[in-house]
Chains A and B, each alone.
Chain A
Amino acid sequence: MELTVLNETQSASSGGCSSSGCGSTDDQLSHLPDDIKQKVHNHPCYSEEAHHYFARMHVAVAPACNIQCHYCNRKYDCANESRPGVVSELLTPDQAVMKTKAVAANIPQMTVLGIAGPGDPLANPERTFETFRRLSQEAPDIKLCVSTNGLALPDAVEELAKHNIDHVTITINCVDPEIGAQIYPWIYWNNRRIRGKKGAKILIEQQQKGLEMLVARGILVKVNSVMIPGVNDQHLKEVSRIVKQKGAFLHNVMPLISEAEHGTFYGVMGQRGPSNEELMDLQDECSGDMNMMRHCRQCRADAVGLLGEDRGDEFTLDKIAEMDIDYEAAMKKRAVIHQGIAEELAEKEKKRAALAAVKVPSGPAADNTHFRPVLMAVATSGGGMINQHFGHATEFLIYEASSNGVRFISHRKVDQYCIGNDTCGEKESALSGSIRALSGCEVVLCSKIGFEPWGLLEEAGIQPNGEHAMEPIEEAVMAVYEEMIATGRLDEAKPENAQISA
C-alpha cells in the first residue's frame, strides 16, 4: 500500500493550514486517504471524533523492557497514578484474553485492544504475541494494536503482520544520537548493555528501520514523541518532517510528565515539562509538516474505557472470574451497537459538512479576514456538545476560532474545584488553578457556571459563556467568534491576562 505524503495533500486542498487551522475538529484525519480513514474511523486514539463514542483498553502483559528512558522509572505498580507505564496488576496472556472478552461484553463500544506495556511489548514477544494470536482467533471483532520503543521492531514486523495488526505506535523522541544520549542512558542489545550515544544510535537506527518496514507492509504507523524542554523540543520539528517523509500517518507530540514523586530520573533531577503554550506552539510548528494528533490523554498501560476515563476497577481479576461471558452473543450485541454509533457519526458528519459551508464568519465582517484567531475553552462530558458545568469539568477542550473556521487544539486537565462542599478551604486556590489552566483563552463555554468563578474568570480576562448549553461545540464556538466580531471585541487588543506568555 502506498501512503500519500500528507503535506502534499494538505497544501493541495487548502493552500497550507499550519498556523491558522483548517476546518473541523477532526482535522487530524480529514486529509487522510479514504482507505486509511476507513481503518481508523472507529479508533478512539486516532480520531478526536471517535474517542467520544468508542472505547479502548490496554492489557498489561508486557512488563519487561529493553531500554531505559529518563522519563520512566520502571516501578509500574501503582493504583493511583495515571500515566503511561503504570498498571495495577500484570496479566498472563490467558488472563488478558479473559479480561478483554469481559470488557468487550460489558462495554460494547470497546473496539480496540492495545498492548502498551508497562514495559516494551516487543521485549516480551512470547506474552505479547500469544495474547494477539488468541484474540485474533477468539474475538475477531476487536482491533489490535501495539506500541513500542522500536528497538526490537524490525525483527517483529513479520510476526505482527501475521496477527492482523494494522496499527503500530512507535515512540520516537529523536533522530540524533547526541540528543538521544540525554534521553536514553542505555539499551540492552545483542546481550550487552550499551550506554550513551552508541546505544542511542542503535535505537534510532532500529526505530527508523522498523518504521520503513511497517510502511512497506501497509501497516499504519503513528509516531509518539515526548516533548522535553531544552532536550528535544526544537529537534522534534525535524523528527516530524522525517517520520512523515517515511510514511507515518500521524504524529502525536505529548508533554513530558516529570513529577518528582513519580521517582523518574527526570522527576528527581528537576527536569521540567513544557507549558501548555510551549506544547501548543510546537504542535503548531510540527503540523506544517504533518498531521498532528492533539487529543491524546497519555493513559495507563492497563486503562479501560473511553479516553480520559478509566473503568479498570470494574474488571479486576477477581471480578472477571465471577463473570460468565458468552462471547458469541456479545459479538452480536456489539455489532448492533457499532452500527448505531456509525449511523450517529454519519449524521454528525452530514451536519458538519453543512456547517463547513457557513463556518467562515458570515456576520458584518464577512470580508475581513484580518481578525485575530481566538482560543476558547469548552466544558464537555462528551458527544461533541457543550454539556458540562464549569465546576465539574476535570478537563477543558481548547478550540481556536479564526477566519478559517474552528479547529480543535488540545485538552487541558484541571483539578475539580467544586466537590459539593462549601466549607472546603482549598476551594479558592483550586479555582484559581483551573483559571490558570485556561491561560491564553478569551472565552470559556459551559452549560452552567457559578457566580464566584464567573467574576474571577472575568477578572482574568476570560469571558464565561453559558448561552450555548447543549449545542454542538464547533457551531457554538463559531457563533461566539462572530458575535465578538460583530460587537467590536476583536477591534480591541487581546485582554492583558489572556496574552499567551512564552
Chain B
Amino acid sequence: MSRDHVITLVQMVNQIATNLGAGRDATQAAQAVCTHLETFWARPMKQRLIACLGEDDHDLSPLAREAVGRLAERQTHRAS
C-alpha cells in the first residue's frame, strides 16, 4: 500500500476523531470512533489503519490512535 494512501487514511480517521470527540469523555469518544470505522469502513482500509499502530511515524491523533487500538482488539476477537 502506498505512502500517499496511508496518509489519506490517517487524515480521514483524525477528522472523524475531531468531529466525534466533542461532547464525549475519552472512553465514549474512542468507542464512537471505533464504531464509526466498523460501521462504515471497508476491510482493507481498516486493516491498513491497524497496521499503522505498529509503525511509529504516523500522525494519528491520540483519540484516533486509541480508537484504532480498540478496533484492532475487536478485529482480533472477531477473527478468533
User: Do A and B associate with each other?
Assistant: no
Residues on B lying within 8 angstroms of A by beta carbon are none
Residues on A lying within 8 angstroms of B by beta carbon are none
